[in-house]
Amino acid sequence: MAVLPIYTYGAPVLREKARPVKRISDDVIQLIMDMFETMHKASGIGLAATQVGRLERVVVIDVSDIEDLKHIPPLTLVNPEIVSTSGSVSMEEGCLSIPEVRNEVDRSQIITVRYKDTNFDDSELEAGGLLARVILHEIDHLNGVLFIDHISTEQRHAHAEELKKIQRGEMEVNYPVVTAVDVAA
């Protein structure tokens, strides 16, 4: 397994829409394993393939370090799609691709997601609370949407200087990154 660099705010790949996975190949399995390794190294609880520069509809999630969610095993969602939502709740969010920026975001409280598992079998999961939020956040990544796209113009403006620093690669993280400056070079 390898720790992959995480693309940060301003890198064009974060605004692209990922393509469906046609089958589970050795390459996709390696990607999934590397994504888990990368997410754990970065102390994250969710990671989308677009965040590591791959335009494939793959998400990994591991919330088992959170006290109330220890019973939830690590999840791999291939080609995930939200089939229903209900309720709404606001909670602070952050993102490995936008380090050091956090903001309250409104998201659905309960969701049902349909996806393929690592055997490429159809699966469906109903999730609530933080797990629902993580799933929605990561699926947004697959669609080129960032959590800051869900906040008001005023809130986004308040983060403008932090976002500019991230684009310039001026941030401190304990994981490898690819910045907008790296991509432009």
Residues 31, 78: Cα–Cα separation, whole Å: 11
Angstrom distance (rounded) from CA 31 to CA 112:
25
Mean pLDDT across the chain, nearest whole number? 96
Q: Identify the pLDDT of residue 184.
A: 82
Query: pLDDT tens across 90-143, in order?
Result: 999 999 999 999 999 999 999 999 999 999 999 999 999 999 999 999 999 999
- Residue 185 scores a pLDDT above 80: no
Q: Give the amino acid at 2.
A: A
Q: Which of 111, 8, 109, 105 is nearest to 51 (CA)?
A: 8
Q: What is the DSSP string of 109-152?
A: SEEEEEEE-TT--EEEEEEEHHHHHHHHHHHHHHTT--GGGGS-
Picking from 8, 44, 4, 42, the residue whose alpha carbon sits closest to that of residue 146 is 8
Confidence of residue 20 (pLDDT cuts 50, 70, 90): very high
Which of 41, 37, 59 is closest to 50 using CA atoms?
59
Residue 67's pLDDT is what?
87
Residue ranges of the domains in the chain? Answer: 6-180
Q: How many CB atoms lie within 10 A of CB 122?
A: 9
pTM check: above 0.85: yes
Known active-site residue 138 = yes
pLDDT interval class at 1 (50, 70, 90) = confident
Looking at per-residue confidence, does 11 or 184 come out higher?
Answer: 11
pLDDT at 74 over 90: yes
Query: Is the model's pLDDT at 76 over the cut of 90?
Result: yes
Quick one: average pLDDT of 71-93?
97
26 sits in the region (left: phi over 0; alpha: psi -120 to 50; else beta) called alpha
Given the residues 92, 104, 124, 138, the one annotated as active site: 138
Looking at the domain that runs over 6-180, which CATH code has it been given? 3.90.45.10
